[in-house]
Structure 1
Amino acid sequence: MLHLRAICPAESTARAVEVLREHPGVAHLIVHHGVAVQPAGDLVEADVAREAADEIVDALCDLQLDHAGGITLEALDTALSDAADKAEEDAPGEGADAVVWQELVGRTGEEAKFNLTFAAFLTIACLLAAVGVVTDSAVTIVGAMVVGPEFGPLAAVAVGLVLRKGELVRRAALALLLGFPVAMLVTAGATLLGEKAGLFDRAVVNNAHTVDFVYSVGPFSFVVALLAGAAGMLSMTSAKSAALVGVFISVTTVPAAGYAVVAAILGNWDRAGNSVQQLLVNLVGIVLAAAVVLLLRRRKQRAAGLERPLSRG
């Protein structure tokens, strides 16, 4: 279940309540008259089945509540209520399979922004990858995979392509195009300092083989990227968000970026080039698979008559 809160101008409250009252996927409808201060109006609350949320939010947006008021959704971990159980039973479809498109656009849009936090996480991840390379430590490479924040913008690119939201695609692409060079430049500087300080030996790094998988590009590199992209988008569009951790550990985007930097600093241009190729293969594979998953889920919703046109971003 999801908890919905809508701030309504007084003249729109009756229609908003009617929308919620008539939908079978709604329970616990509450109206607080005159409690909203900014923007002024009434507060309408309800618990809605996840599979009904997209249709309900779109109907409320048709009343211009997203402009004249405000609409928020939050997940409910526990709902002990016969009315809630009935709403979930009566709503068409399955909650785990439901895509709340407005939520998805908002979530990916937020994660697609290039900001200090994104740059910091990506830089830390690349530094961890570089440490994993110079110490020949697969465990540290896995740590870099987990820390890397790049799946957010990649998912945003896929969402923007499928929903034809050019601004979302541009913003996400900019985050990646700025984030990776910044992280790699910082990592390059740290690698140079580490070599001059004698923290690692050039010959030892060139002869290490435990982390060779990072720059070894082959058919399975693309297969893994496709599977990871599909799993990641399924996780983002359903209630199975825990699967995202597995996606992070599956792909070698950040490790490839870190390896490319270390190899370039050490003059091993073959490995640097292969690492960059690995990075590109993973980025393209993730976006492609994520977009295909979205297209298939959208087609399924359209076939079931559950999707309405998404015109707002």
Structure 2
Amino acid sequence: MLHLRVICPSDRADRVLALLRAQPGATHLVHLPGAGVLPAGDVIEADVAREATDETIGGLCELGLDHEGGITLEQIDTALSDAADRAEAEAPGDAADAVVWEELLARTGEESRLNVTFTAFLSIACLLAAVGVITDSSVTIVGAMVVGPEFGPLAAVAVGLVRRRWDLVRRASLALAIGFPLAMAVTALGTFLGNWAGLFDASVLSGSHEVDFVYQVGYWSLIVAVLAGAAGMLSMTSAKSAALVGVFISVTTVPAAGYASVALILGEWGRFVGSTAQLAVNLVGIVLAAAGVLLLRRSTWRAGDAGRPLSEG
């Protein structure tokens, strides 16, 4: 379940209470008249079954409370209550299949920002990938996959495309378009300094290695990217975040960026082109698969709950 808190103008409190009372998936309703300070108004709280949340948020937004008040949601880990059990049983659908669009927009919007933290994680991940390439260490490559923060912006692009939120698409695309080249530049500099210091030479890329899959782009690269993108978006929309770890260690976005940086400095142009193509295939495949999952879940949601308004967020 999710905990809902609403701050609304006092003259709209009765309508909010009526909306929540009419929602079978809502319970633990609390009304605190005049408790809101900034913005001023009444505070109304309720616990809402996940599968009923999107409809509830849509109704509250129709009352203008996202502009003249405030709506917040928090995840409830444990609810010991017969009333909560009844609300979840009476809410249509299943919690694991419910998509809370406003929550998804907020989550992907936050993770799509280009900032120092995102750039630092991406740079460290690419440096780890470069170390894995140089030392032929698959374990280090996997570590780089896990550290990489790129799935957030990729998911944001998919959500923005499906919801036609072009501001979200632009922001996430900017994070990727600037973040990856910057991280690759840092990795290339690290590779140059390591080569200059005599830690390794061009021979580290000669011959056959365990990590050669990073630059060997092909049909399987796209297949893995599509499956990972689908699993990642399913994980985000169903709040099963543990599955994201499997997504991180299955795609070769960060390893490909790291490999391209190493190959560029060491003059391995064929491998540079291959790893760059691998990066592009993975990025595109993840976005297309994630968007496809959202479209499927959206159409399923509409078919199962005909007539429900879709909040535009």
**Interval of TM-score (by shorter of Structure 1 and Structure 2):** over 0.9
Offset of residue 12 of structure 1:
1.4
* TM-score computed with the length of structure 2 as normaliser: 0.98
The aligned counterpart of 2:233 is 233
Amino acid at match of 1:159: V
The aligned counterpart of 2:270 is 270
Q: What secondary structure sits across from 1:66 in the alignment?
A: coil
Offset of residue 14 of structure 1:
1.1
The aligned counterpart of 1:86 is 86
* TM-score computed with the length of structure 1 as normaliser: 0.98
Offset of residue 63 of structure 1:
0.9
The CA distance in 2 between the partners of 1:147 and 1:206, in whole Å, is: 27
The aligned counterpart of 2:46 is 46
Give CA-to-partner distance per residue, 1:104-157, whole Å, 9 cap, x none.
Answer: 111111111111111111111101101111111110100110010110111011
The CA distance in 1 between the partners of 2:174 and 2:74, in whole Å, is: 29
The aligned counterpart of 1:99 is 99
* 1:238-257 matches, cutoff 5 A: 238-257=238-257
* 1:148-163 matches, cutoff 5 A: 148-163=148-163
Q: What secondary structure sits across from 2:67 in the alignment?
A: helix
Q: What secondary structure sits across from 1:207 in the alignment?
A: coil
* 1:58-73 matches, cutoff 5 A: 58-73=58-73
Amino acid at match of 2:312: S
The CA distance in 2 between the partners of 1:291 and 1:239, in whole Å, is: 17
Q: What secondary structure sits across from 1:239 in the alignment?
A: coil
Give CA-to-partner distance per residue, 1:20-55, whole Å, 9 cap, x none.
Answer: 111000010011111111111111111000000000
The CA distance in 1 between the partners of 2:130 and 2:214, in whole Å, is: 11
Alignment of 1:20 with 2:42, yes or no, is: no
Contact 1:257/1:275 (<8 A) preserved: yes
The aligned counterpart of 1:172 is 172
Q: What secondary structure sits across from 2:127 in the alignment?
A: helix
Amino acid at match of 2:289: A
Alignment of 1:311 with 2:312, yes or no, is: yes
Unaligned runs of 5+ in 2: none
Deviating more after overlay: 197-206 vs 262-271: 197-206
Q: What secondary structure sits across from 2:276 in the alignment?
A: helix
The aligned counterpart of 1:76 is 76
Q: What secondary structure sits across from 2:296 in the alignment?
A: helix
The CA distance in 2 between the partners of 1:71 and 1:55, in whole Å, is: 14
The CA distance in 1 between the partners of 2:17 and 2:126, in whole Å, is: 50
Q: What secondary structure sits across from 1:68 in the alignment?
A: coil
Offset of residue 205 of structure 1:
3.2
* 1:70-149 matches, cutoff 5 A: 70-149=70-149
Contact 1:136/1:208 (<8 A) preserved: no
Amino acid at match of 1:23: Q
Contact 1:228/1:251 (<8 A) preserved: yes
The aligned counterpart of 1:224 is 224
The CA distance in 2 between the partners of 1:230 and 1:27, in whole Å, is: 33
Offset of residue 208 of structure 1:
5.2
Contact 2:201/2:266 (<8 A) preserved: no
Give CA-to-partner distance per residue, 1:51-89, whole Å, 9 cap, x none.
Answer: 000000110111111111111111111111110000000
Offset of residue 165 of structure 1:
1.1
Contact 1:135/1:205 (<8 A) preserved: no
Give CA-to-partner distance per residue, 1:225-275, whole Å, 9 cap, x none.
Answer: 000000000000003111011100010000000000000100000000000
The aligned counterpart of 1:197 is 197
Contact 1:95/1:239 (<8 A) preserved: no
Unaligned runs of 5+ in 1: none
The CA distance in 2 between the partners of 1:92 and 1:296, in whole Å, is: 18
Contact 2:129/2:144 (<8 A) preserved: yes
Contact 1:25/1:91 (<8 A) preserved: yes
The CA distance in 1 between the partners of 2:57 and 2:311, in whole Å, is: 10
RMSD of equivalent CA atoms: 1.0
Contact 2:228/2:251 (<8 A) preserved: yes
Deviating more after overlay: 300-309 vs 46-55: 300-309
The CA distance in 1 between the partners of 2:104 and 2:224, in whole Å, is: 24
Offset of residue 305 of structure 1:
2.1
The CA distance in 1 between the partners of 2:201 and 2:270, in whole Å, is: 19
Contact 1:3/1:48 (<8 A) preserved: yes
